[in-house]
């Protein structure tokens, strides 16, 4: 394998040459045209474009953009896509240098992969007030500003089960095998709800999760030799033996079963609250930790961050930074973040009332420092949907043992390298 | 009739130039990418790997099984779509009072594009089937494939029906009448007279369904999402995952080229076989 | 009486079959009136109340009238150009038999087999490249998208027209040439009017494709004032869940114009063919 130099490129056929032009032209571009849209007005900063994956807030985000234009005169345009198409659209846009000014990514594998598209945001006014560890740093630079924090664990019905009372895997497993008349613990068929979230727990309870993950990836350690993972396998076996088959149920159905009292616990996060809105729920809900190795902490992290496109013009960058400053410090901006988007505060000193009970549990866990990280953000890109979920579905529809499950999952990690 | 070169250019070049810019050039750029290892980001260096991607594809079990599955899916779906479409076309060109109304109704599934249809069918095959005690079709590899074939047939039968109707209506009444005067049964008229005269439409429909089924993507994503255990993953989805989920752009392109060659060969064979059977009118 | 009865039975059977066949469409329609919890209770049941709530919110969130205008413009102009350019090309290829014709035809047909996903990134790179070099707005503009639709629609349209033209006798065209028509006039006065039924088939198939297309417009149309209906409806599709009632209400209003259009065309097909039969 050799790098393409000019000499070799010259020798290639026209077809290949064309593609070299296409791949190579991104390196030093500053995308100056189309940015001087400010026209004759002096005060208004350059127009910015926003592309982001959280479709749930799209309407409010459009309203926010209008509010911003009204207050400052700067035009903000929000692009749209479906949750599923976001990443491929973004990649295509960035590769054609037609990228948005501001966009969203999951911090971790995604932001590391795209590191050279991410502008340093270290000079934002409020950046040192972002709660410790929540801003996304790549290569020592602060590049991502968190939307919110989200947490997941066992969402439970307080009338049916005392999930806070589980102090060990044995407690949980014995509840799963003894619960009558009710589905004890619901997972659902979507990749993240089927495996990724619940599989985060055994990674996160390791003494040094990132180091452990690195060892798994390099094949130095095997999951099946680790106690936390053995307990995880026990839980999965107990779910298969006693609960509704996750392969048969969707996120919508799982939340419906929970909201109508047919399921005692679902492994979900605070975002699920919006799914309960249409139901008439007569019971209280709580959010408890998955008690692997006696764990009493919720998996909490930043699901997505704002990033600024390095290819944007200087005017656009300045304008986008003004926008972020406004969003996180002005009254209107904060009102949108807290009350319209329903986000959990990520800036020190910012508080939110009128938060839903699940988000409150997450906010409490953050305040009490009872949180474990999302190791899953650092898993190899795409591994959840292409490997982990199919393996887990296979597990739930066959008689594979828990140990075999661990070994197959383990192999997927090793092969992804 | 003599046509000058000038007129030939006037008539064909506008379309061919647009077509070349929009389809042919990007396709060749894609071929170019297939010789590189590249993750699809303009800022990241593409590394020349020569034929390596192609050699890897031939050793990629998951891709090969997706490919075999796609061929099986296509063969069955093409037959069922065309059979049903032809039956529909014959039914709605009879003198039945409801013929026109049912033609519109049978065509309706094709009007609904995109993913939502797959999600609706997903609810039918999983939740509704479970509630009826039939069991979840989407968690069984074979039944999941069957479900995809059913949905594809449901959606596309009305589409080919339209082309068959055009063909059936072009057959002169006198020909049919003459044969019935001669005492031919419905079945004889159908197989001896109508079907042979319909061969051009059949060639067209076979090709249209063949190319659509080989490329099927929406139904795969929304109905089975490649599950269970990737056992219903078809080619387009496999390549989409390779390029956009796993960021192997060059490798994904190599897969696309290989598959394109296979499909092109199969389709050319089909077209040349059926066109030979066409009757000149 | 008995024979009348015999005539009714096939009609009833046919209708019954059609209704069962449209069950998924029934589901789309009924669930556009239901709340999330009602849909969870029973997806197959009739809605408990007929509320236009979800239609109203879907229409306003989609910026419906602007999107409708864009979709109409895009579909009508693209298809008009596809029909004109493709029929011209197809006729030439069918009548001017030579290496170039055969090459054009096989090129057009072969590329129908390329999955769009594999060329979408090179295509967008090329369009941006053209835009930068020439200043023509290829991306984020409806004319640019129309240009791309002509390219993607060419294969199937030429294929269909070519298939039909090969079956019509050349004698009429020769007669017109002898009468002094030039090639341009021969095509528009003699050939094109004869292509009516294929033209309608092409129009119907392309209307549905372009009207419902999501991937290509989502890559090119970014600005709010340019969005088509499918792009505007995309916000109902989240990463994990779909806002079912709004998405289905959006779908119903999206396909209504197409259904109306199809019913209109259907009449026209029957008429056109009947008229042809009388003349012949």
Per the domain annotation, does A354 fall within a domain? no
CATH code, domain with A99: 3.40.190.10
What is the domain extent for residue A72? Answer: 44-148+303-348
The DSSP letter of residue C140 is S
* Confidence check: pLDDT of C127 > 90: yes
Chain C residue numbers with beta carbons less than 8 Å from the beta carbon of A69 are: none
Q: What is the mean pLDDT of residues B23-42?
A: 91
Nearest CA in chain C to A259: C37
Q: What is the pLDDT of residues B4-16, one digit of tens each?
A: 888 999 999 999 9
What is the domain extent for residue B197? Answer: 24-276
Question: Is residue A241 domain-shared with residue A218, that is, in the same domain?
Answer: yes
Please indicate whether, in this complex, the C-beta atoms of A96 and B39 are within 8 angstroms of each other: no
Per the domain annotation, does A3 fall within a domain? no
Per the domain annotation, does B1 fall within a domain? no
A contact test, residue of C129, C235, C243 with most A CBs within 10 A = C235
- Residue A269 to residues A57, A152, A155, A197, A356: CA-CA distances in angstroms? 17, 4, 7, 9, 12
**Lowest mean pLDDT across A238-247, C159-168, C184-193:** C159-168
Contact B172, C278 (CB under 8 A): no
Per the domain annotation, does A6 fall within a domain? no
Chain C residue numbers with beta carbons less than 8 Å from the beta carbon of B8 are: 92, 96, 100
Per the domain annotation, does A18 fall within a domain? no
Closest CA to A60 of A357, A338, A350: A338
Question: Is residue A112 domain-shared with residue A239, that is, in the same domain?
Answer: no
Is the backbone of residue C136 left (phi > 0), alpha (psi -120 to 50) or beta?
beta
pLDDT of residue B16: 96
Residue A21 in tokens:
């032009």
Task: Say whether residue A23 is in contact with chain B using an 8 A CB cutoff.
Answer: yes
Please indicate whether, in this complex, the C-beta atoms of C270 and B100 are within 8 angstroms of each other: yes
pLDDT of residue C270: 57
Per the domain annotation, does A407 fall within a domain? yes
Question: Is residue A138 domain-shared with residue A212, that is, in the same domain?
Answer: no
Please indicate whether, in this complex, the C-beta atoms of A97 and B42 are within 8 angstroms of each other: yes
- Residue B66 to residues A297, B56, B141, B145, B216: CA-CA distances in angstroms? 41, 15, 12, 12, 12
pLDDT of residue A8: 35
Question: Is residue A126 domain-shared with residue A73, that is, in the same domain?
Answer: yes
Bridge-partner residues for A48, per DSSP? Answer: A76
Which element (helix H / strand E) includes A103? strand A102-105
Question: Is residue A330 domain-shared with residue A406, that is, in the same domain?
Answer: no
- Residue C164 to residues A136, C152, C195: CA-CA distances in angstroms? 61, 20, 8
Nearest CA in chain C to B264: C110
CA-CA distance, B251 to A312, in Å (whole number)? Answer: 30
Question: Is residue A107 domain-shared with residue A205, that is, in the same domain?
Answer: no
Report the residue from C104, C113, C123 with minimal CB separation from B263. Answer: C113
Closest CA to A206 of A191, A223, A182: A223
Task: Say whether residue B17 is in contact with chain C using an 8 A CB cutoff.
Answer: no
Please indicate whether, in this complex, the C-beta atoms of A247 and B39 are within 8 angstroms of each other: no
CA-CA distance, C166 to C189, in Å (whole number)? Answer: 18
Chain B residue numbers with beta carbons less than 8 Å from the beta carbon of C156 are: 208
Contact A103, A52 (CB under 8 A): yes
Domain ranges within chain C, ordered by starting residue? 66-236
Report the residue from B11, B120, B154 with minimal CB separation from C91. Answer: B11
CA-CA distance, B182 to B194, in Å (whole number)? Answer: 15
CA-CA distance, B219 to B113, in Å (whole number)? Answer: 10
CB pairs under 8 A between A and C: 99
CATH code, domain with B125: 1.10.3720.10
Per the domain annotation, does A23 fall within a domain? no
CA-CA distance, A342 to B254, in Å (whole number)? Answer: 45
Per-chain mean pLDDT for chain B:
87
Question: Is residue A83 domain-shared with residue A167, that is, in the same domain?
Answer: no
Coil, strand, or helix at residue A49? strand
CA-CA distance, B123 to C115, in Å (whole number)? Answer: 27
Higher-scoring residue by pLDDT: A265, B178: A265
Please indicate whether, in this complex, the C-beta atoms of B130 and A248 are within 8 angstroms of each other: yes
Question: Is residue A139 domain-shared with residue A157, that is, in the same domain?
Answer: no
Question: Is residue A240 domain-shared with residue A388, that is, in the same domain?
Answer: yes
pLDDT of residue C271: 55
Q: What is the mean pLDDT of residues B258-270?
A: 82
CA-CA distance, A264 to A163, in Å (whole number)? Answer: 9
CA-CA distance, A36 to A45, in Å (whole number)? Answer: 10
The sign of the torsion formed by the CA atoms of C29, C31, C35, C36 equals negative
Show which of residues 50-89 on chain C sit within 8 Å of chain A, judged by CB atoms.
61
Please indicate whether, in this complex, the C-beta atoms of B98 and C14 are within 8 angstroms of each other: yes
Report the residue from C22, C123, C154 with minimal CB separation from B105. Answer: C22
Per the domain annotation, does A39 fall within a domain? no
CA-CA distance, B226 to A390, in Å (whole number)? Answer: 8
**Considering its fold, how many domains does chain B have in total?**
1
Which element (helix H / strand E) includes A308? strand A305-308
ipTM of this complex prediction, to 2 decimal places: 0.89
Nearest CA in chain B to A114: B41
Contact A146, A302 (CB under 8 A): yes
Give the closest-approach CA distance of C7 to chain B in angstroms: 8
pLDDT of residue A44: 67
Give the closest-approach CA distance of C225 to chain B in angstroms: 22
State the burial class of residue A280 (Cβ atoms within 10 Å of its Cβ: 0-12, 13-18, 19+).
exposed
Chain A residue numbers with beta carbons less than 8 Å from the beta carbon of C236 are: 55
Which residue reads 């449901």 in tokens?
Answer: B154
Residue A138 in tokens:
């790549």
CA-CA distance, A387 to A64, in Å (whole number)? Answer: 39
Which residue reads 């609904």 in tokens?
Answer: B112
CA-CA distance, A342 to A361, in Å (whole number)? Answer: 14
**Lowest mean pLDDT across A172-176, B185-189, C210-214:** B185-189
Q: Which residues contact C7 (CB under 8 A, 6 or more apart)?
A: none
Nearest CA in chain B to C104: B16
Task: Say whether residue B19 is in contact with chain A using an 8 A CB cutoff.
Answer: no
Task: Say whether residue A253 is in contact with chain B using an 8 A CB cutoff.
Answer: yes
Question: Is residue A254 domain-shared with residue A240, that is, in the same domain?
Answer: yes
Q: What CATH code is assigned to C66-236? A: 1.10.3720.10
Question: Is residue A256 domain-shared with residue A373, that is, in the same domain?
Answer: yes
State phi, psi for B280 to the nearest 5 degrees. Answer: -70, 130
Per the domain annotation, does B14 fall within a domain? no
Question: Is residue A175 domain-shared with residue A66, that is, in the same domain?
Answer: no
Q: What is the pLDDT of residues B94-120, one digit of tens each?
A: 888 888 889 889 988 988 876 778 888
Chain A residue numbers with beta carbons less than 8 Å from the beta carbon of B229 are: 390-391, 393-394
Please indicate whether, in this complex, the C-beta atoms of B18 and C15 are within 8 angstroms of each other: no
**Considering its fold, how many domains does chain A have in total?**
2
Give the closest-approach CA distance of B228 to chain A in angstroms: 6
**The pairing of beta strand A141-146 with beta strand A2-3:** unpaired
Give the closest-approach CA distance of C68 to chain B in angstroms: 16
Show which of residues 62-81 on chain A sit within 8 Å of chain B, judged by CB atoms.
none
Show which of residues 92-151 on chain A sit within 8 Å of chain B, judged by CB atoms.
94-97, 113-114, 116-117
pLDDT of residue C79: 97
Coil, strand, or helix at residue C242? strand
Nearest CA in chain A to C41: A256
**Partners for A (CB, 8 Å, 3+ pairs)?**
B, C
Task: Say whether residue B119 is in contact with chain A using an 8 A CB cutoff.
Answer: no
pLDDT of residue B244: 81
Task: Say whether residue B145 is in contact with chain C using an 8 A CB cutoff.
Answer: no
Task: Say whether residue B8 is in contact with chain A using an 8 A CB cutoff.
Answer: no
Please indicate whether, in this complex, the C-beta atoms of A82 and C234 are within 8 angstroms of each other: yes
Cα-to-chain-centroid distance, residue A404 = 28
pLDDT of residue A21: 40
Does the pTM exceed 0.90? Answer: no
CA-CA distance, C46 to C42, in Å (whole number)? Answer: 9
Per the domain annotation, does B6 fall within a domain? no
Please indicate whether, in this complex, the C-beta atoms of A96 and C125 are within 8 angstroms of each other: yes
Nearest CA in chain B to C112: B211
Q: Give C275's pLDDT tier (boundaries 50, 70, 90).
A: very low
Q: Which residues contact A97 (CB under 8 A, 6 or more apart)?
A: A25, A26, A29, A31, A311, B42, C128
Per the domain annotation, does A358 fall within a domain? no
Which residue reads 């129309």 in tokens?
Answer: C146
| Residue A188 CB-half CA count within 13 A | 23
Give the closest-approach CA distance of A276 to chain B in angstroms: 20
**The pairing of beta strand A183-186 with beta strand A263-269:** parallel
The rounded average pLDDT for each run of 10 residues, N- to C-terminus, in chain A (417 residues) is 37 38 38 38 76 90 94 93 85 86 92 92 92 89 94 96 94 92 92 94 95 95 96 96 92 94 95 89 94 95 94 94 95 91 88 85 90 92 86 91 96 89
HEC assignment per residue over C32-83: CCCCHHHHHHCCCCCCCCCCCHHHHHHHHHHCHHHHHHHHHHHHHHHHHHHH
**Partners for B (CB, 8 Å, 3+ pairs)?**
A, C
The torsion defined by the Cα of A250, A255, A259 and A263, in degrees rounded to 10, comes to 70
């Amino acid at each position: 394998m050799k790098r393409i130099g000019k000499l070799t490129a010259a020798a290639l056929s026209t077809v290949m040459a064309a593609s070299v032009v296409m791949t190579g032209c991104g390196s030093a571009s500053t995308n100056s045209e189309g940015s001087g849209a400010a026209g004759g007005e002096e005060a208004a900063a350059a127009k910015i474009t926003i592309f982001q994956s959280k479709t749930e807030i799209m309407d409010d985000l459009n309203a926010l953009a209008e509010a911003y234009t009204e207050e400052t005169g700067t035009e903000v345009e929000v692009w749209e896509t479906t949750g599923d198409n976001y990443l491929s659209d973004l990649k295509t846009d960035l590769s054609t240098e037609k990228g948005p000014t501001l966009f969203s990514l999951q911090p971790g594998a995604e932001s590391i992969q795209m590191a050279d598209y991410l502008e340093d945001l270290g000079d934002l006014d409020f950046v040192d007030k972002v709660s410790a560890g929540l801003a996304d740093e790549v290569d020592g630079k602060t590049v991502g500003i968190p939307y919110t924090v989200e947490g997941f664990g066992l969402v439970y019905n307080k009338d049916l089960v005392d999930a806070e009372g589980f102090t060990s895997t044995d407690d949980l497993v014995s509840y799963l095998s003894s619960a009558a008349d009710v589905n004890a613990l619901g997972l659902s068929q979507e990749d993240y709800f089927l495996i990724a979230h619940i599989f985060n727990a055994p990674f996160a309870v390791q003494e040094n999760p990132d180091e452990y993950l690195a060892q798994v990836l390099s094949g130095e350690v095997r999951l099946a030799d680790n106690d936390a993972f053995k307990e995880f396998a026990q839980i999965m076996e107990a779910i298969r033996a006693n609960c509704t088959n996750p392969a048969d149920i969707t996120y919508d159905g799982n939340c419906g079963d929970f909201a109508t009292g047919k399921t005692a616990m679902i492994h979900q996060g605070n975002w699920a609250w919006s799914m309960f809105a249409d139901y008439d729920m007569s019971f209280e809900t709580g959010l408890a930790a998955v008690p692997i190795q006696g764990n009493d902490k919720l998996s909490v992290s930043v699901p997505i961050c704002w990033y600024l496109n390095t290819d944007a013009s200087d005017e656009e960058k300045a304008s986008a930074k003004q926008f972020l400053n406004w969003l996180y410090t002005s009254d209107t901006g904060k009102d949108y973040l807290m009350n319209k988007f329903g986000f959990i505060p990520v800036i020190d000193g910012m508080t939110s009332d009128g938060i839903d009970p699940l988000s409150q549990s997450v906010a409490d866990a953050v305040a009490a420092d009872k949180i474990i990280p999302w190791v899953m953000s650092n898993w190899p890109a795409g591994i959840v949907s292409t490997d982990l979920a199919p393996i887990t579905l296979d597990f739930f529809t066959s008689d594979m043992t828990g140990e075999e499950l661990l070994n197959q999952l383990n192999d997927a990690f090793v092969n992804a390298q | 009739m003599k046509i000058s070169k000038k007129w030939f250019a006037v008539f064909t070049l506008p379309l061919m130039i647009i077509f070349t810019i929009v389809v042919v050039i990007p396709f060749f750029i894609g071929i170019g990418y297939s010789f590189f290892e590249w993750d699809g980001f303009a800022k990241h260096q593409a590394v020349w790997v020569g034929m390596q991607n192609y050699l890897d594809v031939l050793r990629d079990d998951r891709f090969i099984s997706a490919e075999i599955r796609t061929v099986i899916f296509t063969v069955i779906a093409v037959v069922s779509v065309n059979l049903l479409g032809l039956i529909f076309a014959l039914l709605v060109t009879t003198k039945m009072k409801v013929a026109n109304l049912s033609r519109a109704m049978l065509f309706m599934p094709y009007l609904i594009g995109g993913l939502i249809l797959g999600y609706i069918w997903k609810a039918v095959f999983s939740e509704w089937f479970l509630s009826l005690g039939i069991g979840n079709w989407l968690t069984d590899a074979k039944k999941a494939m069957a479900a995809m074939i059913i949905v594809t047939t449901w959606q596309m039968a009305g589409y080919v029906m339209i082309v068959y109707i055009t063909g059936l209506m072009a057959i002169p009444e006198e020909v049919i009448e003459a044969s019935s005067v001669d005492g031919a049964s419905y079945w004889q008229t159908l197989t001896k007279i109508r079907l042979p005269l319909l061969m051009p439409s059949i060639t067209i429909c076979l090709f249209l369904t063949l190319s659509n089924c080989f490329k099927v993507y929406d139904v795969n994503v929304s109905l089975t999402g490649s599950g269970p255990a990737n056992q219903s993953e078809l080619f387009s989805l496999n390549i989409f995952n390779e390029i956009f989920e796993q960021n192997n752009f060059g490798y994904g392109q190599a897969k696309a080229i290989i598959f394109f060659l296979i499909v092109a060969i199969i389709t050319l064979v089909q077209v040349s076989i059926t066109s030979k059977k066409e009757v000149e009118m | 009486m008995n024979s009348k009865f015999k005539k009714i039975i096939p009609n009833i059977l046919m209708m019954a079959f059609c209704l069962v066949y449209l069950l998924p469409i029934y589901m789309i329609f009924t669930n556009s009136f239901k709340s999330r919890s009602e849909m969870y209770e029973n997806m197959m049941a009739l809605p408990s109340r007929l509320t236009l709530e979800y239609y109203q919110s879907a229409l306003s969130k989609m910026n419906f009238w602007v999107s409708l205008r864009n979709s109409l413009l895009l579909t009508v102009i693209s298809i008009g150009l596809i029909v004109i350019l493709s029929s011209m090309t197809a006729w030439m290829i069918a009548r001017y038999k030579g290496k170039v014709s055969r090459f054009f035809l096989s090129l057009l047909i072969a590329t129908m087999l390329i999955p769009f996903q594999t060329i979408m990134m090179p295509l967008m790179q090329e369009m941006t490249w053209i835009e930068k070099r020439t200043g023509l707005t290829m991306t984020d503009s409806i004319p640019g998208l129309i240009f791309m639709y002509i390219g993607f629609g060419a294969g199937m349209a030429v294929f269909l027209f070519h298939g039909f033209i090969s079956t019509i006798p050349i004698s009429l065209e020769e007669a017109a040439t002898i009468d002094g028509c030039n090639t341009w006039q021969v095509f528009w006065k003699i050939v094109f009017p004869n292509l009516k039924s294929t033209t309608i088939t092409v129009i119907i198939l392309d209307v549905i494709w372009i009207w419902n297309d999501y991937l290509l417009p989502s890559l090119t149309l970014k600005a709010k004032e340019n969005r088509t209906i499918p792009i505007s409806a995309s916000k109902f599709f989240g990463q994990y869940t779909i806002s079912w009632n709004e998405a289905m209400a959006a779908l119903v209003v999206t396909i209504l114009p197409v259904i109306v259009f199809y019913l209109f065309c259907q009449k026209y097909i029957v008429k056109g063919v009947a008229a042809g039969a009388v003349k012949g």
